[in-house]
Amino acid sequence: MSFLMTRRECLGSAGGLMALLGLLSMERCLAGAAEPVLPKQPLPQISLGPLPYPVTALEPFLDAKTLEIHHGKHHAGYVAKWNQTLEKLGQKRDLGNAADLIHLYQSLSFNGCGHVLHELYWQSMQPAAGEEPAGRIAAALQEDFGGYRRFLAEFEAVTVPMEGSGWGVLAYSPMADRLVILPCEKHQNMALWDSTPLLVCDVWEHAYYLSYQNRRGDYVKEFLKHIPWREVEQRYVRARAAAGREKPSELS
Ligand code: MN3
């Protein structure tokens, strides 16, 4: 259906952004270098797309009022706060002010994940009930969970008892080359659900304590001097290719 394409494009527009977020900006902030001015708008503004079906389409499974509020208030709230946070981030950058940046990035994570997950949520339901998996996804469920029925039982067992609010997620793990079920209790803990990590800095104390004790800042400064950027570049190019955003000619 055509809405799927536009939805995917919309999802994609938020993609790749954590690469910019975590890496470029923070590195430059930390370095305090007088480098060329960053773009004022470091990430794209996003907008709330329409639901892929009328609000009444899922009744009686989900009533129209629920969908109206969920999409028009809750999902819209994530979009609005993402955009507001971006503006604040832009202002801080204009002023060269790195104080309290972590709160803005936390807000981007929280609201960005809220947006990305809701986009996928709307596309995870359809008016007709009873469709069963077929083809490649049926084969994968068979191989990775022992079949469709077993997957259903596991998904329920993980999703229903989740503490507080959260999401039950079926995901593909490239590391395992398998389907995995993820109980996602705090959705911002995954930074941004459509993003691909390109480099990571472990700031758990075990990573640096023997050499740096409580001087995490010194450890991070040194870490930033030791990044193999050619390998990061390769991961970046592969991630863009996997997202369909890299032309074959750009791949090395
Ligand atoms: Mn919701």
Residue scoring higher pLDDT (170 or 1): 170
Q: Name the residue type at position 76.
A: A
CA 61 – ligand 1 centroid, Å: 16
CA 75 – ligand 1 centroid, Å: 6
Residue scoring higher pLDDT (248 or 238): 238
Spatial distance between the Cα atoms of 48 and 81, rounded to a whole number of angstroms? 12
Band of residue 197 on the pLDDT scale cut at 50, 70, 90: confident
CA 185 – ligand 1 centroid, Å: 12
% of the chain surpassing 90 pLDDT: 58
Is residue 33's pLDDT more than 70? no
Crossing angle of the two packed helices 135-145 and 148-159, in degrees rounded to 10: 70
CA 120 – ligand 1 centroid, Å: 11
CA 71 – ligand 1 centroid, Å: 8
pLDDT at 100: 86
pLDDT at 246: 80
> Model-level pTM?
0.76
- The residues that bridge with 169 in the sheet, in sequence order, are 182
Which stretches does DSSP call E strand in the chain? 167-173, 178-184
Is residue 69's pLDDT more than 50? yes
Give the tens place of pLDDT for each residue, 125-146. Answer: 999 999 999 999 999 999 999 9
